[in-house]
Amino acid sequence: MADHYDVVTLGETMLRLTPPQMRRLEQATNLDIEVGGSESNTAVGLARLGLKVSWLSRLTKNGLGLLIDNALKGYGVDTSRVCWTDQDRVGLYFLEEGLAPRGSAVVYDRANSALSRMQPDDLPADLFQPGASRVLHITGITPAVSQSAAQTTLKALGLAKQAGWAVSFDLNYRARLWSPEQARVGCEPFARTADLLIAPLRDARLIYSLSGTTPPEQVLGFLQQHFPQATVVLTMGKDGAMGQAPRGELIRQPVFPAAEVGRIGGGDAFAAGLLYGFLAGNDHKEFAPGLLALALRWGAAVAALKYSTPGDMPVISHAEAARLVASESNTSSSGVSR
Amino acid sequence: MADHYDVVTLGETMLRLTPPQMRRLEQATNLDIEVGGSESNTAVGLARLGLKVSWLSRLTKNGLGLLIDNALKGYGVDTSRVCWTDQDRVGLYFLEEGLAPRGSAVVYDRANSALSRMQPDDLPADLFQPGASRVLHITGITPAVSQSAAQTTLKALGLAKQAGWAVSFDLNYRARLWSPEQARVGCEPFARTADLLIAPLRDARLIYSLSGTTPPEQVLGFLQQHFPQATVVLTMGKDGAMGQAPRGELIRQPVFPAAEVGRIGGGDAFAAGLLYGFLAGNDHKEFAPGLLALALRWGAAVAALKYSTPGDMPVISHAEAARLVASESNTSSSGVSR
Amino acid sequence: MADHYDVVTLGETMLRLTPPQMRRLEQATNLDIEVGGSESNTAVGLARLGLKVSWLSRLTKNGLGLLIDNALKGYGVDTSRVCWTDQDRVGLYFLEEGLAPRGSAVVYDRANSALSRMQPDDLPADLFQPGASRVLHITGITPAVSQSAAQTTLKALGLAKQAGWAVSFDLNYRARLWSPEQARVGCEPFARTADLLIAPLRDARLIYSLSGTTPPEQVLGFLQQHFPQATVVLTMGKDGAMGQAPRGELIRQPVFPAAEVGRIGGGDAFAAGLLYGFLAGNDHKEFAPGLLALALRWGAAVAALKYSTPGDMPVISHAEAARLVASESNTSSSGVSR
Amino acid sequence: MADHYDVVTLGETMLRLTPPQMRRLEQATNLDIEVGGSESNTAVGLARLGLKVSWLSRLTKNGLGLLIDNALKGYGVDTSRVCWTDQDRVGLYFLEEGLAPRGSAVVYDRANSALSRMQPDDLPADLFQPGASRVLHITGITPAVSQSAAQTTLKALGLAKQAGWAVSFDLNYRARLWSPEQARVGCEPFARTADLLIAPLRDARLIYSLSGTTPPEQVLGFLQQHFPQATVVLTMGKDGAMGQAPRGELIRQPVFPAAEVGRIGGGDAFAAGLLYGFLAGNDHKEFAPGLLALALRWGAAVAALKYSTPGDMPVISHAEAARLVASESNTSSSGVSR
Amino acid sequence: MADHYDVVTLGETMLRLTPPQMRRLEQATNLDIEVGGSESNTAVGLARLGLKVSWLSRLTKNGLGLLIDNALKGYGVDTSRVCWTDQDRVGLYFLEEGLAPRGSAVVYDRANSALSRMQPDDLPADLFQPGASRVLHITGITPAVSQSAAQTTLKALGLAKQAGWAVSFDLNYRARLWSPEQARVGCEPFARTADLLIAPLRDARLIYSLSGTTPPEQVLGFLQQHFPQATVVLTMGKDGAMGQAPRGELIRQPVFPAAEVGRIGGGDAFAAGLLYGFLAGNDHKEFAPGLLALALRWGAAVAALKYSTPGDMPVISHAEAARLVASESNTSSSGVSR
Amino acid sequence: MADHYDVVTLGETMLRLTPPQMRRLEQATNLDIEVGGSESNTAVGLARLGLKVSWLSRLTKNGLGLLIDNALKGYGVDTSRVCWTDQDRVGLYFLEEGLAPRGSAVVYDRANSALSRMQPDDLPADLFQPGASRVLHITGITPAVSQSAAQTTLKALGLAKQAGWAVSFDLNYRARLWSPEQARVGCEPFARTADLLIAPLRDARLIYSLSGTTPPEQVLGFLQQHFPQATVVLTMGKDGAMGQAPRGELIRQPVFPAAEVGRIGGGDAFAAGLLYGFLAGNDHKEFAPGLLALALRWGAAVAALKYSTPGDMPVISHAEAARLVASESNTSSSGVSR
């Protein structure tokens, strides 16, 4: 019989190539490698917290694809259902780290990746059994990558719903991949059926044509009105997060103060903590309103730990996050215990 | 009025990404960057020897494209006529260095590069004036990259011929880009009109369906029969090179013994030395048979120096090559003078 | 119901710390980290070849223990049954790489490691079910580490035998851990019951007090006489290997020529190839004499690939090994295909 | 006929050798190399902004000299008129980066450099034609290096004036090379004839014996009184810059906020932006007062970008600087766009 | 006749192994090496300031022990009386640097080190002559390491007292080595006889069961009451230090502002400055009250310089510290002088 | 009273700066630092073998000078009598490592170093007491550096002779510093009075105008005839060494086979072993003929160990060298013992 997962996720993972020491790409003589992808970042976070996670994707069978597979397996994610191909390529992105006024710059090089050519039939359909997982977690990036990726994500959604799994969807808008209008249409089927809808404030404003000064509470209200079935969580960067379950109260969660060592992947880490909060405190698939406050707190804790860790993935421990979640205040000291 | 070049060349230059210390790609945590492309390698060799070289290509305007441009300019190649675009991507290849029995492995990631989408109209047509250059040097790689790259190379050939420049053509077969049959057809217009035809022995056997044991002399004869207008030079790896001008004698050139620090780019370095030998000893555009022996010797010298230098490009000096060319034997010592 | 493994193994894995560029330890300013242990090296080799392997051990729950766990999981080994502890320490060894006459030097720092304090009760007894694995692979290192490690290994042997698994035992003598006499006594129960007995020639001579010039055939004969139940394989470094099944013929296998990039771990890689040869060609647990020749060839191939790969573990691919196994001669070229 | 440059400059470029990670020189096991020199830094900035710049200097023909030449060519500076020699040496400086209270420390090792022995006759006299350049840019460092360097700079000044080029002069006082009194005398001929006079506030106070608390406006007034022919620009570190054209109004320019990644070279970057502002908005050689405000803004923008870039040279892009120049406020965000 | 030292000290020195760039241990592929030990850190500080210091310890004779010995000798500490052994091991600690909320984490691996098995007889008894040293400096770490280390430290104390040397004792509580109660008992003989007693505020509160909010003045009073023979110095992190000689006045010393490059070793650097202040201004062994103010200022200066220097040891110069001690305010600039 | 040394030596030590991975200087982005100087290399070798050595020199008091001092002290050489100055500079040399046909290249940058300006009065005259050292070791490099260095070396010779020390002199010809004729004259006073004269075969031929094919025996004879007071040792690279004491027999010593990791410093290591052989086996100052054979064997052993060690200095151990000296043959294995 099949394995039982807490979370199944689907998405693209790329290699991030970064010149060391804030050098520009054109000055680089070598590049540091990190493995990163929104869904696999979340998967690593969940695995580190102790849950069982399966990551679905499509990878080219070469050294670069193996590197991604090794890294995710190493951090405890089940990759045994990844679809391997000899075709296509592994997506890359080059990150030029910079501070103001230069700023960081990204050169994406992800076109024609293996995931962008993933077909609905590449999904391990037999996995989508009732009880085989509690949650399917997807983001708005995957349907934006290509038409076939969108169809594949849609099929995964359908299979998960059919199997009775809960669905978590993170809007995660990528302006380099599609326009806000395309995103609104493309995300519609996911947002409309998600049990948990995670929306970065800026993305929500952009996608739903809300003014850049619309108050967060109003954005949250807008989302609840349109997607009444979902527990909606709005992430607001340094202003923390807020969420509301259907017919529940609005709950606010400030950030835990954190040094910024690795900026990228904070939202994915938040999603991992959030899902963990719901799943670790609940044996059933429903997102009971009573767990939202706890889930938001786990989300904030894992995100803060991620910010102080290099790389894209939240390579954190359950003990660290639990300590933060249990802390009385949202502040912490940084002494070395010896 | 226009600049005067000794050699104009056209082709794709990629970034080579290599894990240090013979690690496998899947084990890599960082990658060393080298700049490499057959034609620009040759261009760098020619520039280092003191000639004036213009490299034509198409590059994406981002940090990776600038890195290539900076490197070639830094080594003295004129890149002012490169066609820049905001579209497409910079070609990459990942080299996993290994010794027997593992061997080195290359993951090419060059599809959809800026050069592969170069159009005939992207050529700086005004450059192709009589007297603006002495030689156009092209290789069999560029027409193999894509149809539009092939058309662009053909147009460059036509313009160069029209302007009265000599044409140097290196077969340089790439099995990952086309089949031997395609290569034979695709190279035909270049081989048929080239003043200098450089043919790696293995490539020539493959493209022209000659048995793998056909003696080099016979391969050379075959090429001369089909391309009687050309001075033909056959390169044979550790067995050196041999060449013959139309109606000239067969001339043999053994290799100079060399430590193997950087294997890639040896053939391109040979081409640089060869062209230099012809051009430095001759004020006219014709490849006078009397210079072939000298040119072969320069080719062997530059190739040997390349083998003992890391990277793809022959970052060598005229003095070093001249010393080798002038040496009595083909052997050399490696003592440190102090 | 339980997982099904091809091979279960048990042993200690250490961190190897090496100063780069052949520097001496006392000159080092940084140390490269490799993960290495005879049994986990073999496990990685088997996993890379496609088999399902479980590695049993005891690890301290800190960053160093996690590093080992991540690495083995990343290369596909199942570590879910490792016994974790907050006590003790992770074994280390410092390797000072050197060439003659200086030579390499090892500073072992493995005393009081978590594995050295593993108790028989730390074994996942429920794993040892009939059919849950085909082979238990152990080496002479583990019983040498400590008394409790010896008892643990003995218990694993007993449980495996009881469950009907085949047993593979590699003498692997470590002079720093015990004397030849102690090794003879300590290895006796394993050698006496092993289905496959792997013996490095030098170790066998030392342990069984045979002269250093005893011919390999005679050493093999000695082992067969004493351990008639076992298929005996003698490894002889550059002289290859030879083996003989009970009542079978003596079969010889020369080495595949290999560049020496990483010397350590060759024997473990050989064991991986050997076991693979037996298991991949056979659905039953017995080591049918007919497979010995194939197994030896796989052993030699994987060992050769390991020698040309850095680190302790055979991070090789099935395709590479299969190509070597299928090659007509034992020689190979090292050209870059492009 | 000759090339046409926007700016010709003359000066010494050194290699900067820095221990990584804030280590002290005495603790260093390796040194990072940067290329730096006030005038070539400015030249690189101008070339990156799109102008045509020729850098005059004298370099020793060895690997170190070539490294400098490669780097400057790579960033687009014309070095074809550099005077090469087999004598003397390449100037070095060792930078020990440190924060308070330790502070950074510099060990200069520039005595007897090739530039310090440059003679007036080493100048490419034929370059100094009317129309061959719009500006000659020099600094107070070059005349301080040695007597022959001073004579060479003076000759360049004379030739430029004769050819009708505008002259830009940056006081750039170096206490390690000469005393304030010597600097006053040595800079006199340049300050007296410069069309553009750039003066760091602290340097101006020191050289002209003004009290350390003399208000900037008063320092500017002093300079205008003594050098009435010049547009004077005073740079004041974190307090920005101010300038006044003859008979023009005093114009103030605050700094753009910038993270401090590479402190060295900020003044040279400012000079590049300043010159660009004058030249890009003006086809004639005169520094029309109406362009001063724009020029100051470009200067501040390029300096701010330099501060957030490692190394001595402003390896920035026109687009980045233009965006900053066009920004409404002097603040900027540092988000990663994706 | 014997050498004359200013200070003799005794303690354990370990290798600190740190993953670069804030990576986690489990992500590390290499480790940076630092040499660190409280007493040898202080010894290096004293030697850099110009005093003659002998460091007593026990080291295993392998590359790791030599590395420690080389480093200390290199920085000017006399190690000629170290007791060498072929047994035991060199103590290690792994530092995972992190910022809040992750924080830094230390994995100690110092059990069974050579020092932990040092015996009283391993001390160079003949060294403890009247006049052979002015001070013996010990800390509360050494008696905490093991019983034999405690006995050895006690014997050193007795010998020093007998020889008429002054004794300096730093409480330096290590929670990983013993409990507060054990520390109180274990430190008693040292605190009761020390001429100089250095007490970190937090340690003093813990060891003597004072509340975490006991005001520093009260803690100081407590210590003076119990150890009336000692000049007591209380260190309070960012709040500076305060001290009082028997029958002297309470003297306060704020910190010098310092960037935090290397946090570890600040207290040891403070002790070095403090001892230097007493010894450099005094030819006699007594700690005259009149020198306490100066000593505290030297302590603060050396600690501040240490904070802005990487590694554990205060690799600073006398000139730097003297400049800070002599500065009017406690603030400093960080400009590069050139 | 003064310290007692086995050997006092005098000379210049430089920093060697080398681009890693065989890159060319012009391609370098960083440089590895090594400390090297013929006399200090020999001093380190002697200290490692257990003798007490004092190195005399003149060093500039900056981070570079301290680096050299730290390194030599760290390896056990007494540097307490080095003359420090705030003037001049630390000598540098840039090594571009290369294999044939490119070869290694050195860029010397040692002019105007602190040592080159050392004056006879900078010598610690009080050191040169009878019995304060057994040997003064000098080389032909120091008198070649400058006139004042030559005078200083001559004074040291005179003082040593006066104090009754033995004198060891290594011709060590440096073609970059003086001509063969100058060397002959400059070395005369040293060669004429040396008790031990070490002469590289090639240097001896050059300096004394002997043909490049003069047989070694004849060169040795020539030297003995001219310098009859000396035990003469001729070093012949891969052909080993030979020596003869006055009225003694010619003794030959082949090389010990050695991998070539660090080529530079082999001769200095040989000198260290040679001197050790004489001094360790002899309590008196005379070089008794009976020890020459042993001394040559020690010389060959230390040289061989140096060749397999990176850097310029023979960082070897007494045990390693003794093992080689005691080995039956001149061959050795390179296995890892574990």
Instruction: Among B206-220, D97-111, E27-41, name the one with the lowest average pLDDT.
Output: D97-111
Question: Would residue F59 be called left, alpha or beta, if left means φ above 0 and alpha means ψ between -120 and 50 degrees?
Answer: beta
Q: Look at residues D66, D116, D121 and name the one whose alpha carbon lies nearest to residue D91.
A: D116
Cα gap F278→F137, rounded to integer Å: 13
Are residues F312 and F264 in contact, defined by beta-carbon separation less than 8 angstroms? yes
* Residues facing C137 on adjacent strands: C9, C168
Which letter does DSSP use for residue E27 in this model? G
Statement: residue F253 has pLDDT above 90: yes
F58 is written with which tokens?
């003149």
Asked whether residue B103 is domain-assigned, the answer is: no
Q: Look at residues E272, E199, E274 and name the one whose alpha carbon lies nearest to residue E235.
A: E199
Which letter does DSSP use for residue A78 in this model? B
A60 pLDDT band, cuts 50/70/90, is very high
- Nearest chain B Cα distance for residue C194, angstroms: 32
Q: What would the DSSP string read from start to end of B64-103?
A: HHHHHHHHHHHTT-B-TTPEEESSSB--EEEEE---TTT-
Cα gap F241→F274, rounded to integer Å: 11
- What average pLDDT does this structure show over F258-284? 88
3-class state of residue A77 by DSSP = coil
Cα gap F8→F168, rounded to integer Å: 10
Give me the pLDDT at residue E100, please.
87
Give me the pLDDT at residue F285, please.
55
Smallest Cβ–Cβ distance between C305 and the set B26, B102, B175 belongs to: B102
Cα gap F55→F83, rounded to integer Å: 10
**Which residues in D have their CB inside 8 Å of a CB on B?**
1, 70-71, 73-76
Asked whether residue A225 is domain-assigned, the answer is: yes
A282 pLDDT band, cuts 50/70/90, is low
Are residues E89 and E63 in contact, defined by beta-carbon separation less than 8 angstroms? no
Asked whether residue C32 is domain-assigned, the answer is: no
Q: Please name the residue of chain B whose CA is at the shortest distance from the CA of residue A26.
A: B67
Smallest Cβ–Cβ distance between C310 and the set B23, B103, B106 belongs to: B23
Q: Which of F13, F35, F64, F106 to probe the D interface (max D CBs under 10 A)?
A: F64
Domain extent, residue A206, equals 5-12+38-89+119-334
Statement: residue B337 has pLDDT above 80: no
Q: Look at residues A61, A5, A39, A56 and name the one whose alpha carbon lies nearest to residue A168.
A: A39
Give me the pLDDT at residue D261, please.
82
CATH code of the domain covering residue A297: 3.40.1190.20
Asked whether residue D98 is domain-assigned, the answer is: no
Mean pLDDT of chain F: 93
ipTM of the complex: 0.93
C261 pLDDT band, cuts 50/70/90, is confident
Q: Which residues of F touch B334 (CB under 8 A)?
A: 98-101, 103-104
Cα gap D329→A234, rounded to integer Å: 30
Q: Which residues of C touch A71 (CB under 8 A)?
A: 74
Q: Which residues of E touch D27 (CB under 8 A)?
A: 311, 315
- Nearest chain B Cα distance for residue F107, angstroms: 9
Is there a contact between E67 and C26 if contact means CB atoms under 8 Å apart? yes
Instruction: Among B196-210, C151-165, E278-292, name the one with the lowest average pLDDT.
Output: E278-292
Statement: residue C333 has pLDDT above 50: no
Give me the pLDDT at residue F261, please.
82
Phi, psi of A333 (to 5 degrees): -95, 170
Is there a contact between E74 and F71 if contact means CB atoms under 8 Å apart? yes
Give me the pLDDT at residue B260, please.
81
Q: Which of E34, E67, E336, E337 to probe the D interface (max D CBs under 10 A)?
A: E336
Asked whether residue A53 is domain-assigned, the answer is: yes
Give me the pLDDT at residue C285, please.
55
Give me the pLDDT at residue B173, please.
97
Q: What strands, in cross-sheet order, belong to the sheet with C14-18? A: C105-109, C92-96, C14-18, C30-36, E30-36, E14-18, E92-96, E105-109
Quick count: other Cβ atoms within 10 Å of Cβ E124?
Answer: 16
Among A287-296, B86-95, E275-284, the range with the most confident prediction by mean pLDDT is B86-95
F109 pLDDT band, cuts 50/70/90, is very high
Asked whether residue F32 is domain-assigned, the answer is: no
Counts of helices then strands in chain E (DSSP H, E): 10, 14
Is there a contact between D264 and E336 if contact means CB atoms under 8 Å apart? yes
Touching partners of D (3+ C-beta pairs < 8 Å):
A, B, E, F
Cα gap E330→E326, rounded to integer Å: 10
- What average pLDDT does this structure show over A291-306? 96
Q: Which residues of F touch D30 (CB under 8 A)?
A: 20, 30-33
Smallest Cβ–Cβ distance between F66 and the set D26, D33, D89 belongs to: D26
Residue range C25-76, pLDDT digits in tens? 999 999 999 999 999 999 999 999 999 999 999 999 999 999 999 999 999 9
**What angle separates helix B318-326 from helix B292-307, to the nearest 10 degrees?**
120
- What average pLDDT does this structure show over A111-133? 96
CA distances for A5 relative to A1, A8, A43, E138, angstroms: 13, 7, 11, 56
Q: CB neighbours of E225 closer than 8 A, spacing ≥ 6?
A: none
Are residues F209 and F180 in contact, defined by beta-carbon separation less than 8 angstroms? yes
Statement: residue E176 has pLDDT above 50: yes
> Contacts for C246-251 with beta carbons within 8 Å, 24 or more apart?
C246/C289, C247/C289, C248/C289, C248/C292, C249/C289, C250/C217, C250/C220, C251/C292, C251/C293, C251/C296
Asked whether residue F23 is domain-assigned, the answer is: no
Asked whether residue E107 is domain-assigned, the answer is: no
**Which residues in D have their CB inside 8 Å of a CB on A?**
256-259, 261, 301, 304-305, 308-311, 315-316, 320, 324, 332-338
Is there a contact between F107 and D28 if contact means CB atoms under 8 Å apart? no
Q: Look at residues A6, C325, E87, B35 and name the one whose alpha carbon lies nearest to residue D74.
A: B35
Number of domains in chain A: 1
Distance of CA D246 to the CA centre of its chain: 22
Give me the pLDDT at residue E262, please.
78
Instruction: Among B30-44, F233-247, F287-301, name the one with the lowest average pLDDT.
Output: F287-301
Statement: residue F333 has pLDDT above 50: no
Give me the pLDDT at residue E63, please.
97
- Residue with the two structure tokens 């056909």: B214
Whole-model pTM?
0.95
Q: Which residues of B touch D2 (CB under 8 A)?
A: none
